[in-house]
């Protein structure tokens, strides 16, 4: 161990301008504001419009803002990790598209695919790369253009997802009062049957038939995902608290993946957190997959104080899930 710890020293989000409200969704599929609000807590979500713009367009805006805000020279960034399931292309990876567009020319980068847990996984990977002493400034991005893989004729999924991106800067610290302290990550491939996208990969490349069968869109069986998300997140939150001898009173914020307000409320109840300590912005953005956690930190930045104990938790397709414990450093 080098004795170094990785700390988040900057956070920035980006959401597209276009607001897709529940009222507009009522004109697209057979749904209504009451159902969406009571079942998910979502009132509106953002959609990235325009030709030839992908997930990188949002990641670029988030990174530009992050570098400017932290006064960081893009040439000083030595590693970029982009968590996404909606990369611009199958390859090259979106981390490199973003690095090139923002002048992070000395960085190597790669994408990380863990669905809604992607940002959390990427945060711990970035932290460990930095703690090894080899890297000094790491950018971790969570970004998804879910509107590119959502079927707007399927009311069971199209009301849930939105587009957005967030990015954090990781730097080393020797201050024991701040930084990323611990994580627990899990995955279980048995969950693949409940949340997936069938075609467009190597197993079933795109053909006219796959397009006609709408197999390039997300398919979800919501109930089992709901149950696994609740039990998975509450379990790892309790475990990481026990491992670090933390009581609820010691934690300033729980930052859960924004999948569904009812999931968030159930997890906070099972992990014994009052909702005043739980970050929630799902009503504004819906589920932006890898984007939700950095967008929460960005939205709540002015309510975070240096030294605050924060637990992040996520659950996503795969299944993938986890929790991460940090002390806020800004
Ligand atoms: N508007 C109106 N009615 C709807 C809609 C809609 N948008 N969607 C479904 N319904 C109907 C169904 O057809 C069903 O009708 P029926 O009883 O006549 O058959 C009824 O509402 C109930 O459907 P359920 O699927 O049982 O509803 P549920 O209460 O489970 O809520 C939901 C569905 C919101 C999808 C919920 O199961 C959920 O949030 N699951 C977890 C989803 C999630 O977190 N996904 C992200 C995981 S992270 C990642 O990696 C992407």
What tens digit of pLDDT does each residue of 242-296 get? 999 999 999 999 999 999 999 999 999 999 999 999 999 999 999 999 999 999 9
Please count the structural domains in the chain: 2
**Any catalytic annotation for residue 116?**
yes
Domain stop point among 176, 192, 216: 176
Instruction: Say if residue 51 is in the same domain as residue 115.
Output: yes
Could you tell me the CATH number of the domain that includes residue 215?
A: 3.40.47.10
Instruction: Say if residue 37 is in the same domain as residue 107.
Output: yes
Q: What is the pTM of this model?
A: 0.97
**Any catalytic annotation for residue 296?**
no
End-to-end CA distance of the chain: 24
Instruction: Say if residue 50 is in the same domain as residue 17.
Output: yes
226, pLDDT greater than 80: yes
In whole angstroms, give the CA distance from residue 82 to residue 56.
9
Residue nearest to atom 1 of ligand 1 (CA): 31
Instruction: Say if residue 235 is in the same domain as residue 318.
Output: yes
In whole angstroms, give the CA distance from residue 10 to residue 304.
12
**Any catalytic annotation for residue 135?**
no
Mean pLDDT over each residue of the chain, to the nearest integer: 97
Three-state DSSP class for 15?
coil
Instruction: Say if residue 154 is in the same domain as residue 203.
Output: no
In whole angstroms, give the CA distance from residue 322 to residue 123.
11
Instruction: Say if residue 299 is in the same domain as residue 321.
Output: yes
Q: Which of 115, 164, 101 has its CA nearest to residue 295?
A: 164
Q: Measured between alpha carbons, how far is residue 131 from residues 101, 179, 208, 212, 328 in Å?
A: 27, 11, 48, 48, 17
Q: How far is the CA of 156 from the centre of ligand 1 (A)?
A: 5
Residue 223 Cβ inside 6 Å of ligand 1? The answer reads: yes
Residue nearest to atom 32 of ligand 1 (CA): 222
Instruction: Say if residue 119 is in the same domain as residue 226.
Output: no
What letter would DSSP give residue 166?
A: E
Share of the chain above pLDDT 70, in %: 99
79-83 and 138-145 strand pairing: parallel
Of 22, 135, 287, 296, catalytic: 287
Domain stop point among 157, 176, 195: 176
Ligand 1 pocket mutation pick from 223, 256, 263, 266 by most atoms within 8 angstroms of CB: 223
Its domain, for residue 127, covers 5-176
Residue 3 binned pLDDT confidence (cut-offs 50, 70, 90): confident
Which strands sit side by side in the sheet containing 320-327, from one edge to the other?
Answer: 179-187, 320-327, 309-316, 253-256
Instruction: Say if residue 83 is in the same domain as residue 184.
Output: no
DSSP for 226-284? HHHHHHHHHHHHHHHHHHTT--GGG-SEEEE--S-HHHHHHHHHHTT--GGGB---HHH
């Amino acid at each position: 161990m080098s004795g170094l710890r990785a700390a988040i020293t900057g956070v920035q989000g980006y959401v597209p301008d276009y607001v897709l409200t529940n009222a507009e969704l009522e004109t697209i599929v057979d749904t209504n504001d009451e159902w969406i609000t009571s079942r998910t807590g979502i009132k509106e979500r953002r959609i990235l419009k325009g030709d030839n713009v992908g997930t990188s367009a949002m990641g670029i805006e988030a990174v530009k803002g992050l570098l400017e805000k932290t006064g960081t020279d893009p040439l000083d960034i030595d590693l970029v990790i982009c968590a996404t399931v909606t990369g611009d292309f199958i390859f090259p990876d979106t981390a490199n598209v973003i690095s090139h567009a923002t002048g992070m020319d000395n960085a190597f980068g790669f994408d990380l695919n863990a669905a809604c847990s992607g940002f959390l996984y990427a945060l711990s990977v970035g932290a460990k790369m930095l703690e090894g002493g080899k890297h000094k400034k790491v950018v971790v991005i969570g970004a998804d253009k879910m509107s590119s893989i959502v079927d707007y004729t399927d009311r069971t999924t199209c009301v849930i997802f939105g587009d957005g991106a967030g990015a954090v800067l990781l730097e080393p610290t020797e201050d024991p009062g701040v930084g990323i302290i611990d994580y627990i990550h899990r995955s279980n491939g048995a969950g693949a049957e409940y949340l997936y996208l069938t075609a467009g990969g190597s197993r079933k490349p795109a053909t006219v038939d796959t397009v006609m069968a709408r197999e390039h869109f997300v398919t979800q069986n919501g109930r089992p995902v709901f149950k696994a998300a609740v039990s998975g997140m509450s379990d790892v939150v309790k475990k990481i608290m026990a491992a670090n001898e933390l009581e609820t009173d010691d934690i300033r914020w729980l930052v859960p993946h924004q999948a569904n307000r009812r999931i968030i409320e159930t997890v906070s109840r099972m992990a014994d957190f009052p909702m005043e300590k739980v970050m929630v912005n799902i009503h504004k953005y819906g589920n932006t997959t890898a984007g939700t956690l950095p967008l929460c930190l960005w939205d709540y930045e002015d309510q975070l104080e240096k030294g605050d104990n924060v637990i992040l938790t996520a659950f996503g397709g795969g299944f993938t899930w986890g929790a991460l414990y940090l002390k806020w450093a800004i």
